[in-house]
Amino acid sequence: MTVARDLIGKGLYLRRGRQEFLVELVEVEAYLGPLDPASHAYRGPTPRARVMFEDGGLCYAYLSYGINYCMNVVTGRQGTGEAVLLRAAVPLAGVPAMRHNRGLGEDASQYLLTNGPGKLCQALGIDLRYNGKDFFRDDFKWVDLGKAVPPDAIAATPRIGITKAKDEPLRFVLRESRWLSRKFQV
DNA sequence: TCTATGATCGTA
DNA sequence: ACGATCATAGAG
């Protein structure tokens, strides 16, 4: 949870072939493991959730609603099943490719690029092949963007799109960001 | 601005 | 059958 908070404002870089992407994370959600009924780890290390139980630093990617992909950072030690869902980001590099991946024209609002977990993955070209990849290798890189994010710039709110444990404030957002999947309410 | 709905498929 | 989503349609 404090790990999730620390991801706000971090830069994530991805290279695929000749394409390079860089985004700044502005919205994440913590999923706490087997005791969290909203987590995919709730039923233990099933085939889908297996990488959630690996050591931290891996990518847990899955198909959501048969339509979109979503990506997580595994954050616990081996066996704990903790992960953080990446929900929204600011596009910093590779914007034309993201626009293409999203099927958006030049005139479409820039905020539609990466303001949701499915949109973020589509923009970056993330699919099931990225499940189990290492965010510290495998063409990913964490980038220090050099911005200090003061604690009061980050807000904690309930998680989105879940039915169980919906009241825990485990979604972390950069308060004033225009790139959130939903506007932060006071 | 909001609520409802359909698309679509891996997982359990 | 369900779901850590999204885009669209229609009402107010």
The 10s digit of each residue's pLDDT in A93-129 is 999 999 999 999 888 899 999 999 999 999 999 999 9
The integer distance in angstroms from the CA atom of A158 to the C1' atom of B1 is: 21
pTM: 0.95
Two tokens at A4?
Answer: 């999730």
Report how far residue A112's alpha carbon sits from residue A133's, in angstroms, rounded to the nearest whole number: 26
Lookup: nucleotide whose C1' is closest to A131 CA: B10
The integer distance in angstroms from the CA atom of A161 to the C1' atom of C5 is: 8
Q: CB neighbours of A4 closer than 8 A, spacing ≥ 6?
A: A28, A29, A30, A75, A84, A170, A172
Which position has the higher pLDDT, A5 or A106? A5
Lookup: nucleotide whose C1' is closest to A68 CA: C5
Torsion A102-A123-A18-A105 (CA) sign: positive
Residues 83-112/A with CB within 7 Å of nucleic chain B are none
A184 pLDDT tier (thresholds 50, 70, 90): confident
